[in-house]
Copies of this chain bind each other. A is one copy, B any other.
Amino acid sequence: MPSGTPVFDWIIPREWTIRDAFLADHTGGRVIDFRRNNLHVVGYSTPVDRQLPLQEFQEHLFSLPDQPDAIPYVTSHYKERWGFCLPDAQRLRLKPGIYRAFIDSELKDGSLTYGECILPGATKQEIFLSTYVCHPSMANNELSGPVVTAFVCNWIRSQPRRYTYRVVFIPETIGALTYLSRHLDHLRKNVVAGFNISCVGDERGFSCVGSRYADTLADRIAAHVLASMSPNYTAYSFLDRGSDERQCCSPGVDLPVVSLCRSKYGAYPEYHTSLDNLQLVTPNGLAGGYEMVRRCLEALEQNRTLRVNSYGEPCLGKRGLYPTLSQKNSASAVKTMMDFLAYSDGRNDLVRIADIIGVPVWDIFPIVSRLKEAGLISETDQ
């Protein structure tokens, strides 16, 4: 999408290119060097080449006294600025003197680029997945999002599926606005649930950010899956939003979308610094993030409203579904089956029944299969 294109209330900005940047001392030595870490330059910095005493550069330097070894991640999207970011410890060691600030960048008409992957299913009803591709060098927030989403796409493709999946890889905010503005009617008509996948790579807790009223199918699925995976998960309200649920759940857009996270943006100390790196994001962390998303999609795919075919409790014993001698584990499985049957009254889908009877919905999937085979339950039109 070319720069200058209006998207809702916004306009796609010029594109930024950066080739080199440094702050050099009087000997020409690079004390800050973009080649060592691209966080050293404020995002969207305008070009500069000036020699000045250190004190006159101070307003262009950004560091974090509370995290003296971290390079902060700073951008200036909608106002022209230039600057350098560095660890506070390094900043304090800089000696007075003349320095040269050099940034070889340009801001010019270009384009906003995004990726889109459609995986057709048995129906035209869609599951919408979005993740973002705009935070340079950030591991949890944000490379974890596209990584997990790519693996999720592979899993989706390996499965028979009821729903069509629409997966987008976009820059945050402006990318989401762009995508929504081009597909709003289609999305509003077809999306039954969606997940914004962000910050899914560390090993700390799970969390989700609800939709505006936390009342969509996506909210219900996420709450069930996260509570089942991790009873101490954090349910953030829409007031804690900060990613693309801001656009997806805005008035008039109103998509049934929630954000799925491990440590949510803004809620962990390494956030938006050079410490959000591959010490923080691990294979285990990513696997958990993947598991969370996959469980949500599986719950959506399997979710149905069923009705028991008999009056009164069915006679499970004559079908070999009831143990003739009770034992501890079988008793629990039979209890789940009987509780499931008790609430299979055509009013509740599987996830709602799982919530009522207090088991993970995936414990119900094999029960549904066995009861269907036995002819004891049927799908309702509902």
- The distance from the CB of A219 to the nearest CB of chain B, in whole angstroms, is 16
How many of A's residues come within 8 Å of B, CB to CB? Answer: 46
Instruction: Give the residues in chain B near A7, CB-CB below 8 Å.
Output: 312
- The distance from the CB of A246 to the nearest CB of chain B, in whole angstroms, is 6
Q: Is the CB of B181 within 8 A of A250?
A: no
Instruction: Tell me the complex Cα distance, A307–B184, Å.
Output: 19
- The distance from the CB of A355 to the nearest CB of chain B, in whole angstroms, is 12
Instruction: Give the residues in chain B near A212, CB-CB below 8 Å.
Output: 342-343, 345
Instruction: Tell me the complex Cα distance, A137–B159, Å.
Output: 57
- The distance from the CB of A223 to the nearest CB of chain B, in whole angstroms, is 19
Q: Which of A296-336 contact B (CB under 8 A)?
A: 307-308, 310-315, 317-318, 324
Q: Is the CB of B252 within 8 A of A311?
A: yes
A interface residue numbers (CB < 8 A to B): 7-11, 76, 78-79, 173, 176-177, 180-181, 184, 212, 238-239, 241, 246-247, 249-254, 307-308, 310-315, 317-318, 324, 339, 342-346, 356-358
Instruction: Tell me the complex Cα distance, A312–B176, Å.
Output: 9
Q: Is the CB of B342 within 8 A of A251?
A: yes
Instruction: Tell me the complex Cα distance, A321–B307, Å.
Output: 54
Instruction: Tell me the complex Cα distance, A7–B345, Å.
Output: 20
23 A-B pairs with CB atoms under 8 Å apart are A8-B310, A8-B312, A9-B312, A9-B313, A9-B314, A9-B315, A10-B312, A78-B318, A78-B324, A173-B313, A176-B312, A177-B313, A180-B311, A180-B312, A181-B311, A212-B342, A238-B342, A239-B339, A239-B358, A247-B312, A251-B346, A252-B310, A252-B345
Residue from B246, B252, B318 in contact with A308 in the complex, judged by beta carbons closer than 8 Å: B252
Most buried by B among A78, A239, A247, A312: A312
What are the 8 tightest A-B residue pairs by CB atom distance, in nearest-first order? A251-B345, A9-B310, A79-B324, A8-B312, A247-B312, A9-B314, A252-B311, A10-B315
Q: Is the CB of A312 within 8 A of B253?
A: yes
Chain B residue with Cβ nearest A241: B342
Instruction: Tell me the complex Cα distance, A320–B177, Å.
Output: 20
Instruction: Tell me the complex Cα distance, A318–B249, Å.
Output: 22
Chain B residue with Cβ nearest A10: B315
- The distance from the CB of A259 to the nearest CB of chain B, in whole angstroms, is 14
In the complex this chain forms, how many copies of it are found? 3
Instruction: Tell me the complex Cα distance, A254–B358, Å.
Output: 22
Instruction: Give the residues in chain B near A308, CB-CB below 8 Å.
Output: 250-252
Instruction: Give the residues in chain B near A357, CB-CB below 8 Å.
Output: 239
Q: Say whether, besides A239-B339, A251-B345, A342-B250, A311 and B10 are in contact (CB < 8 Å).
A: no
Instruction: Give the residues in chain B near A173, CB-CB below 8 Å.
Output: 313
Chain B residue with Cβ nearest A178: B312
Instruction: Tell me the complex Cα distance, A367–B145, Å.
Output: 35
- The distance from the CB of A172 to the nearest CB of chain B, in whole angstroms, is 12
Chain B residue with Cβ nearest A212: B342
Instruction: Tell me the complex Cα distance, A79–B318, Å.
Output: 10
- The distance from the CB of A231 to the nearest CB of chain B, in whole angstroms, is 18
Q: Is the CB of B311 within 8 A of A253?
A: yes
Q: Is the CB of A251 within 8 A of B177?
A: no
- The distance from the CB of A234 to the nearest CB of chain B, in whole angstroms, is 18
Instruction: Tell me the complex Cα distance, A297–B233, Å.
Output: 42
Instruction: Tell me the complex Cα distance, A343–B250, Å.
Output: 8
Instruction: Tell me the complex Cα distance, A310–B7, Å.
Output: 10
6 A-B pairs besides A181-B312, A184-B311, A252-B310 with CB distance below 8 A are A7-B312, A8-B312, A78-B317, A177-B313, A212-B343, A251-B342
Instruction: Give the residues in chain B near A307, CB-CB below 8 Å.
Output: 251
- The distance from the CB of A184 to the nearest CB of chain B, in whole angstroms, is 7
- The distance from the CB of A304 to the nearest CB of chain B, in whole angstroms, is 15
